[in-house]
Structure 1
Amino acid sequence: MNPYSTLPDRAFWKKAVSEKSIFDISNLWSPKFKITKDSKVVTFGSCFAQHIGNALDSRGFNWVSTETPPKGLSQENAKKYNYNIFSARTGNIYTTSLLKQWVEWATGI
């Protein structure tokens, strides 16, 4: 017996995802709450977080960007200087401890 023997099929990538048609994949997670288009959502992280923010924004969700680019700044330079990449111009945040540090700096803790 091992700690995995009692887990359901959905706990294993091969059984839950790779051996199924994309149309048959279901019940992989149970969200604790629903994100609606009115929910304020922020993203911080790395490349993955950038894509999540873009996907939410392009689908009409309330993705929060706290720093808008100055008027007249080209889209190329706005991206270069991290405007509208994450919810704030922090650059990549790879750990929860770094995100906590940024929140403490922002709130004065």
Structure 2
Amino acid sequence: MNKIQGTEQLANINKKVVEDGQNLPSVKLKDGSTVQTGTVATMLHNIQLYNFGERGAIEDELILAIPTLFKVGLFDLFPINEWINGDNAGRKFIGEQAKIYLKEKD
């Protein structure tokens, strides 16, 4: 079984978008890799917090989500440059960090 980097940590982070006591499952994709559900919803929540000026832990959580976001195809649907362009600071941060992730991965 191939877990995507950060899956265990995302399980705890992603709890912030569900009611107390609820847990989001990890799911196995057809290629055999395992990803944490709720990552996109939590990313959207964290982008909003980032846009309101939060940094530090929010940045770390956004960065941690990037491998999962690549795995589920978010950057195929919305290319990295689309994230960077525009006036949304949180989206720009994600796009810039996605570029760094790709460079480090190669």
* TM-score interval (norm. to shorter): under 0.3
Bigger helix share: 2
TM-score normalised to structure 1 length: 0.25
- Higher Rg: 1
TM-score normalised to structure 2 length: 0.25
Bigger strand share: 2
